[in-house]
């Protein structure tokens, strides 16, 4: 090959090397020409240069091999994919390196560098094994060794760092080799100068100059290569540390272009790896946050399920052990399950009930309209409540309060019905008994005053439509008090029952016989013919004049009758009763045991009423009344004692009967002023007691007229506030006349009073002045059992049953009870045993003046 073409195919550094080699050869010819003795020295120098050049080529080929490895691995990491690394090119390069190393081995061993400083084929094989050991897998195929590289970015980065370190180590070895070559050249040059100085003095200066130029050129070349190598080493160290903001070596030297290109790709790969790592770290953070959120949601769900399981177990315990009967049905009313209370209520087993309808219809007590209303309310409101009648398996009827609730799922679809039943059979029995007590006299089983009022209103409507008349007959027994006092209360009760039987047997079946109170009866006779009325009254007097057999003794009584005609003597209930009562008193005043028709000109009675009105009006104006206090004793230790304020009207050294002037005051418009006096006096007493350090509670009576006031609550509240006491210090008792009105209107008034803080009590409960409706419809705190029931507790099982029923009902609805007329220890013991809250009567104390009440100490026991 011509020399110009040969030099053109070499790199600048190679060109310089061959030019230097040519100069050395020319110099060797000149030296050989002058002196044959220099041949050996020249040969030694040539062999040294050949070794240096061969080592430089081997180092360059090793760098090319490592650069090729770096480029392929960097490309795989950059693409972030799985792939295969082809070692065919690498094997070809390695074969050339091994051939050059074999040539070096043929040179004299004394001229070669130490083995540890020589790159050789074994070190390249070790490098291959190091790379293969860190890869996932590899396989040997006919085309060469194939390495399987993972796309795991972190691992690829580690491989890049590994190769980078290997390149850095080889560069360091190459730098050390260059330094060794420089040292060897220097040593050869020194030997050459020493030999030349002794043998060739004539060519010393030219030869030394030429050698010096060659050495300077070689040192410059090696210095430039060393500078590039050091720059490359620093760059590799920075890149190995993860720093990509570095300056790479210059690409002006074509021999270093592959290395610079590999470094650029490595830097780009490292930057991509860092960015990928940041993205992966961000993804890990995001996934960690998502997992934390999911874990928290899972923990919350677990906590909710545990709490739901607690509630489910609690509901299951309540479902099994509650006293109320509970059943669950499908939307088609087929029973799914029921608790033990329901099984006991029906007398059936769960197996008999599941899949069947509840046995409500088997009782026969509910018409089709009842079920239509039930289902209509369930479908529109999702809830129904009411009383039902079930039939026990033994045939007995069971009254129950049923509440049905519809159950819907999250989509609003009906899934179940839940029914809760409370057994009210005993309550209904007590209610029926009390209802009879409310409308019928318990002793004689005759209608009481309330029932009489209802029937009178009914008779008035019938008579008006038929344009007919009827009669109201008031009847009062003569000498009944004598029989009661001489023969005892038992004989008196027997007498009243016998009188009731004789009266029922005397009048027609369509007529009404009622007992109002004590020995006072009232009859409604539909035949309004005066002559027929006279015959009926005479027949009544005849049967009542016959002897009564009482406790093996005969007793004779009579009766006084008063007759009022509808519509001539009155067109309303109150007027008819008042006129019949006036006619009855007319009979008494005429000698008893007779009957009298009402006459408008009953002069004497009207005169007495006028005189009473004048005196009572003067007493109201002068506030000539006084209050007595009768203690009400608590029968349970946690309850406070209090007193009932009783109005007294002093007259001539005695007191007028409140039973006379109070009804008169109500009928003549004086009751409001009397009520104001009672309330003012009671409030003044309470305020003075509080000032002395004693808390007092006083019960006062309200009349119908007072309830009818427009602003009763406000008026009472203002009166109480004027004395600086609490409304709870006042208990308001409803009197007989106050309850013969519209219950709804009274209920509203009483509710306002309770909300203002006043206590409410019903007086004379069970004696015809009150009914079960009062307890149901009126907001009350207490009921006062009439003293006539208390009086017969010792020897009357009927009275005992009635009182026990009242106490039981009051306890069931949360109302306190007060027993009036307690006179014996036996009565008190019965009341204590049956849970009565308070007692009042002569057994403890009679009504007393204020000073006596302040000093009163309740008796022990």
Domain CATH for 680: 3.20.20.450
Q: Could you read off the pLDDT of 504-515 as tens digits, one per residue? A: 999 999 999 999
The last residue of one of the domains, among 383, 407, 423, is 423
Contacts of 239 (CB under 8 A, 6+ apart): 164, 246, 263, 266, 267, 270
Place of tokens 């049953």: 801
Q: What is the pLDDT of residue 309?
A: 79
> Angle at the Cα of 64 (from 63 to 65), degrees rounded to 5?
90
Contacts of 329 (CB under 8 A, 6+ apart): 335, 336, 358, 416, 417, 419
Q: How far apart are CA 115 and CA 126, in angstroms?
A: 16
Same domain, 616 and 643: yes
Q: Could you read off the pLDDT of 501-559 as tens digits, one per residue? A: 999 999 999 999 999 988 999 999 999 888 899 999 999 999 999 999 987 788 889 99
Q: What is the pLDDT of residue 140?
A: 39
Q: Decide: helix, strand or coil at residue 762.
A: strand
Same domain, 561 and 649: no
Name the CA dihedral angle for 611, 612, 613, 614, rounded to a multiple of 10 degrees: 50
What is the number of other CB atoms lying within 10 angstroms of the CB of residue 664? Answer: 15
Report whether 462 contacts 510 (CB < 8 A): no
Same domain, 643 and 780: yes
Q: What is the pLDDT of residue 89?
A: 60
Q: How far apart are CA 530 and CA 539, in angstroms?
A: 14
Q: What residue numbers bound the domain in which 700 lies? A: 611-785+844-854
Q: How far apart are CA 487 and CA 478, in angstroms?
A: 15
Q: How far apart are CA 559 and CA 519, in angstroms?
A: 10
Average pLDDT over residues 825-831: 94
Q: Provide the pLDDT confidence category of residue 205 given band limits of 50, 70 and 90.
A: low
In a domain, 301, yes or no: no
Q: Could you read off the pLDDT of 46-91 as tens digits, one per residue? A: 665 666 566 656 556 655 655 665 566 556 545 544 444 555 665 6
In a domain, 359, yes or no: yes
Same domain, 375 and 460: no
Omega of the bond prior to 563 within 30 degrees of 0, cis?
A: no
Burial of 432 (0-12, 13-18, 19+ CB in 10 A): exposed
What is the number of other CB atoms lying within 10 angstroms of the CB of residue 13? Answer: 16
Q: State the average pLDDT for the chain.
A: 78
Report whether 3 contacts 39 (CB < 8 A): no
Q: Could you read off the pLDDT of 682-732 as tens digits, one per residue? A: 999 999 998 887 888 999 998 877 776 768 899 999 999 999 999 999 999
The two three-digit tokens of residue 854, written as one number: 């302040």
Q: Which of 563, 556, 612 is nearest to 586 (CA)?
A: 563
Q: Could you read off the pLDDT of 313-338 as tens digits, one per residue? A: 777 777 777 778 888 999 888 998 88
Give me the number of domains the chain comprises. 4
Q: Provide the pLDDT confidence category of residue 839 given band limits of 50, 70 and 90.
A: very high
Q: Taking 50 as the threshold, does the pLDDT of residue 167 lie above it?
A: no
Same domain, 330 and 437: no
Same domain, 751 and 777: yes
Q: What is the pLDDT of residue 163?
A: 45
Which residues are registered as beta bridge partners of 398?
390
Report whether 558 contacts 453 (CB < 8 A): no
Q: How far apart are CA 701 and CA 647, in angstroms?
A: 9
Same domain, 411 and 447: no
Q: What is the 3-state secondary structure (H, E, C) of 143-181?
A: CEEEEEECCCHHHHHHHHHHHHHHHHHHHHHHHHHHHHH
The last residue of one of the domains, among 423, 440, 469, is 423
Same domain, 370 and 512: no
Contacts of 643 (CB under 8 A, 6+ apart): 629, 630, 631, 632, 696, 697, 698, 699, 853
- Report the interhelical angle of 204-240 vs 12-34 (nearest 10°): 160
- Report the interhelical angle of 573-589 vs 603-622 (nearest 10°): 110
| CATH number of the domain that residue 539 is part of | 3.30.70.270
In a domain, 812, yes or no: no
pTM for the whole structure: 0.38
Share of the chain above pLDDT 90, in %: 27
Q: Which of 88, 1, 52 is nearest to 179 (CA)?
A: 52
């Amino acid at each position: 090959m011509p020399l110009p073409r040969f030099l053109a195919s070499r790199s600048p550094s190679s060109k310089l090397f061959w030019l230097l080699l040519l100069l050395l050869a020319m110099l060797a010819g000149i030296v050989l020409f002058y002196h044959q003795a220099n041949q050996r020295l020249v040969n030694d120098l040539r062999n040294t240069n050949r070794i240096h050049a061969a080592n430089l080529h081997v180092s360059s080929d090793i760098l090319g091999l490592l650069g090729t490895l770096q480029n392929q691995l960097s490309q795989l990491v950059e693409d972030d994919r799985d792939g295969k690394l082809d070692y065919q090119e690498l094997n070809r390069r390695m074969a050339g390196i091994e051939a050059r190393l074999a040539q070096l081995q043929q040179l004299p061993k004394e001229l070669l560098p130490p083995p540890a400083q020589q790159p050789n084929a074994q070190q390249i094989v070790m490098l291959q094994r190091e790379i293969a050991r860190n890869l996932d897998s590899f396989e040997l195929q006919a085309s060469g060794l194939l390495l399987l590289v993972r796309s795991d970015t972190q691992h690829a980065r580690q491989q890049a760092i590994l190769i980078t370190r290997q390149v850095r180590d080889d560069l360091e070895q190459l730098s050390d080799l260059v330094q060794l070559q420089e040292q060897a050249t220097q040593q050869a040059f020194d030997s050459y100068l020493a030999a030349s100085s002794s043998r060739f003095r004539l060519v010393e200066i030219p030869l030394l100059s030429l050698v010096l130029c060659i050495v300077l050129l070689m040192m410059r070349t090696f210095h430039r290569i060393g500078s590039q190598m050091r720059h490359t080493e620093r760059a590799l160290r920075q890149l190995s540390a993860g720093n990509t903001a570095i300056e790479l070596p210059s690409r002006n030297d074509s021999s270093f272009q592959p290395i610079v290109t590999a470094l650029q790709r490595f830097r780009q790969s490292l930057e991509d790896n860092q960015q990928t790592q940041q993205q992966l770290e961000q993804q890990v953070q995001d996934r960690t946050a998502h997992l934390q959120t999911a874990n928290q949601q899972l923990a919350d769900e677990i906590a909710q399920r545990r709490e739901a399981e607690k509630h489910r177990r609690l509901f299951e315990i309540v479902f099994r052990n509650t006293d109320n009967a509970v059943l669950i049905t499908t939307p088609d009313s087929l029973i799914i399950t029921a608790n033990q209370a329901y099984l006991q209520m029906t007398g059936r087993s769960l197996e008999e009930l599941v899949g069947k309808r509840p046995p409500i219809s088997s009782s026969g007590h509910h018409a089709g309209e009842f079920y239509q209303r039930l289902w209509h309310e369930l479908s529109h409101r999702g809830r129904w409540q009411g009383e039902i009648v079930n039939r026990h398996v033994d045939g007995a009827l069971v009254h129950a309060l049923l509440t049905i609730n519809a159950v819907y799922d999250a989509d609003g679809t009906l899934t179940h019905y839940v029914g809760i039943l409370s057994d009210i059979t005993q309550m209904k029995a007590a209610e029926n008994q009390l209802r009879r007590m409310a409308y019928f006299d318990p002793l004689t089983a005759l209608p009481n005053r309330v029932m009489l009022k209802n029937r009178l209103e009914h008779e008035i409507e019938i008579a008006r439509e038929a344009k007919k008349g009827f009669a109201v007959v008031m009847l009062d027994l003569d000498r009944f008090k004598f029989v009661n006092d001489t023969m005892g209360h038992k004989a008196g009760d027997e007498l009243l029952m016998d009188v009731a039987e004789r009266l029922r047997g005397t009048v027609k079946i369509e007529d009404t016989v009622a007992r109002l109170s004590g020995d006072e009866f009232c009859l409604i006779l539909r035949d309004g013919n005066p002559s027929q009325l006279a015959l009926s009254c005479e027949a009544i007097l005849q049967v009542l004049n016959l002897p009564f057999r009482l406790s093996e003794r005969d007793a004779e009584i009579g009766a006084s009758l008063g007759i009022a005609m509808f519509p001539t003597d009155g067109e309303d209930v109150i007027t008819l009763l008042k006129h019949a009562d006036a006619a009855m008193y007319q009979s008494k005043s005429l000698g008893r045991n007779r009957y009298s028709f009402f006459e408008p000109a009953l002069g004497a009675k009207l005169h007495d009423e006028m005189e009473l009105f004048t005196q009572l009006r003067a007493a109201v104006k002068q506030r000539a009344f006084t209050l007595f206090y009768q203690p009400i004793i608590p029968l349970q230790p946690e309850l406070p004692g209090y007193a009932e304020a009783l109005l007294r009207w002093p007259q001539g050294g005695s007191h007028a009967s409140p039973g006379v002037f109070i009804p008169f005051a109500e009928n003549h418009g004086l009751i409001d002023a009397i009520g104001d006096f009672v309330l003012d006096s009671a409030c003044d007493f309470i305020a003075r007691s509080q000032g002395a350090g004693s808390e007092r509670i006083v019960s006062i009576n309200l009349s119908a007229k007072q309830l009818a006031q427009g602003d009763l609550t406000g008026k009472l509240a203002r009166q109480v506030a004027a004395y600086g006491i609490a409304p709870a210090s006042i208990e308001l008792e409803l009197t007989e006349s106050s309850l013969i009105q519209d219950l709804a209107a009274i209920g509203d008034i009483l509710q306002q009073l309770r909300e203002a803080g006043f206590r409410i009590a019903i007086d004379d409960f069970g004696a015809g002045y009150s009914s079960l409706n009062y307890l149901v419809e009126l907001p009350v705190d207490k009921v006062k059992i009439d003293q006539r029931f208390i009086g017969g507790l010792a020897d009357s099982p009927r009275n005992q049953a009635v009182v026990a029923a009242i106490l039981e009902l009051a306890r069931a609805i949360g109302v306190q009870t007060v027993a009036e007329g307690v006179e014996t220890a036996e009565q008190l013991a019965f009341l204590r045993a049956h849970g009565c809250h308070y007692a009042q009567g002569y057994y403890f104390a009679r009504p007393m003046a204020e000073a006596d009440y302040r000093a009163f100490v309740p008796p022990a026991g």
